[in-house]
Amino acid sequence: MKARFPKFDFSNVRAHWAPNKEFAQSYNASSLIPAYVEPFLLKVMRIAREKVNPANTRLIEEIDIFCKQEMQHCKHHIAYNKIFRSQGYEGLKPLEDKIAAEYDDWLKNRSLRFNLAYCEGFESMSAGACEAWFEQFGDLLVGADQAVADLWRWHLAEEFEHRTVCSDVYHELSGLNPIARYFYRVYGFIYAVKHLGTFNKAAASYLLAKDRENMTPEELEASLERQKVLVARIKRSAVPKLLKVLSPFYDPAKRRDPQGLQEFLQEFEQRPAALAA
Ligand SMILES: [Fe+2]
Ligand SMILES: [Fe+2]
């Protein structure tokens, strides 16, 4: 686990960055999330870092790497979002303002325990998304724009790398007995799934509705059919991964590396133009 400082050139990227436009828009909707949730994660982790036992130097070092990784993630998603949003999707702003205001409110008014459980819920979702991206969505990435595909590969690979950090912090600082801690973790996870799922669905619906404004009836029918197939496929992939997190024995450390993840990171790090010194 380490911080990486990649460079991406999104200047020529189109919102329809993958041949399956509904898939591209689904992940464009998801790309809005890190711009808001990850600054929130950073703020929660900075508060938590002060409360972690200073003797737990391993966890403190991991929190520091976690924060550096998340900072890079949100920076590059913000850059990408700016480009695709400017291609006729300015109407996303009210949705984005709402989620930003929610996180601000939670930092002021909710307990550290709630915020940590939510963060751990988000991290559990991200580790599952990494598995899907590396092992199940390969065909959807054939012919896709490499910068956007690599933004997601790199981001999700690092999500997988740091998957234990929020969990360890939550376990250290929840202040709950093991049984209550388990139920509260599940509560935070379900809350995050619902909260971010609702946001993602609303953003994707907006993006697809904009695209469909100028479609012929035949194009519209084909788009609706592709979306139906895609939604069913994403659900089939996501449900078993989400159910695993509900187990009292769930431990992010025990997830096995998705196939191709280490190979991708090794290759990505060796690209002279991709990573800053
Ligand atoms: Fe991230
Ligand atoms: Fe993360």
Smallest CA-to-CA distance from 119 within 133, 106, 136 is with 106
Which ligand sits closest to the CA of 160?
Answer: 2
What pLDDT band is residue 272 in, cutting at 50, 70 and 90? Answer: low
The 10s digit of each residue's pLDDT in 159-204 is 999 999 999 999 999 999 999 999 999 999 999 999 999 999 999 9
Instruction: Write the CA distances from 108 to 13, 28, 56, 158, integer angstroms.
Output: 37, 29, 27, 28
Which ligand sits closest to the CA of 66?
Answer: 2
Which ligand sits closest to the CA of 156?
Answer: 1
Hey, what are 203's tokens? 């953003």
CA of 248 relative to ligand 2 center, distance in Å: 21
What pLDDT band is residue 274 in, cutting at 50, 70 and 90? Answer: low
CA-based Rg of the chain, rounded to a whole angstrom? Answer: 19
Hey, what are 33's tokens? 């999330």
CA of 124 relative to ligand 2 center, distance in Å: 9
CA of 202 relative to ligand 2 center, distance in Å: 22
CA of 249 relative to ligand 2 center, distance in Å: 21
Other CB atoms within 10 Å distance of the CB of residue 111: 11
Which ligand sits closest to the CA of 151?
Answer: 1
Instruction: For residue 141, give the amino acid letter.
Output: L
Q: What percent of the chain has pLDDT over 90?
A: 96
pLDDT at 270 over 90: no
CA of 217 relative to ligand 2 center, distance in Å: 41
CA gap 149, 27 in Å, rounded: 10
Smallest CA-to-CA distance from 154 within 253, 262, 252 is with 262
What pLDDT band is residue 222 in, cutting at 50, 70 and 90? Answer: very high
Smallest CA-to-CA distance from 210 within 86, 56, 113 is with 86
CA of 218 relative to ligand 2 center, distance in Å: 41
SS3 sequence of 118-178: HHHHHHHHHHHHHHHHHHCCHHHHCCCCHHHHHHHHHHHHHHHHCCCHHHHHHHHHCCCCH
pTM of the predicted protein model: 0.94
The predicted pLDDT at position 276 comes to 46
Which ligand sits closest to the CA of 192?
Answer: 2
CA gap 21, 33 in Å, rounded: 19
**Under a CB-based contact definition with an 8 Å cutoff, are residues 210 and 91 in contact?**
yes
Start-end of H helices in the chain: 21-49, 57-85, 93-109, 112-135, 146-161, 165-173, 178-212, 217-245, 261-270
In three-state secondary structure terms, 263 is helix
Long-range Cβ contact pairs of 125-128 (< 8 A, separation 24 or more): 125/189, 125/192, 125/193, 125/196, 125/242, 126/156, 126/159, 126/160, 126/163, 127/159, 127/160, 127/163, 127/252, 127/255, 128/238, 128/241, 128/242, 128/244, 128/245
The predicted pLDDT at position 208 comes to 97
CA of 68 relative to ligand 1 center, distance in Å: 10
CA of 75 relative to ligand 1 center, distance in Å: 10
In terms of Cβ atoms closer than 10 Å to its own Cβ (0-12, 13-18, 19+), residue 256 is exposed
CA of 212 relative to ligand 2 center, distance in Å: 33
The 10s digit of each residue's pLDDT in 67-88 is 999 999 999 999 999 999 999 9
Other CB atoms within 10 Å distance of the CB of residue 265: 18
pLDDT at 273 over 70: no
The predicted pLDDT at position 271 comes to 81
Section 207-233 average pLDDT: 96
CA of 226 relative to ligand 2 center, distance in Å: 30
CA of 206 relative to ligand 2 center, distance in Å: 26
In angstroms, how far is the first alpha carbon of the chain from the final one? 17
CA of 73 relative to ligand 1 center, distance in Å: 5
CA gap 156, 159 in Å, rounded: 5
Section 249-260 average pLDDT: 94
CA of 138 relative to ligand 2 center, distance in Å: 22
CA of 217 relative to ligand 1 center, distance in Å: 39
Section 110-139 average pLDDT: 95
Which ligand sits closest to the CA of 127?
Answer: 2
The predicted pLDDT at position 277 comes to 36
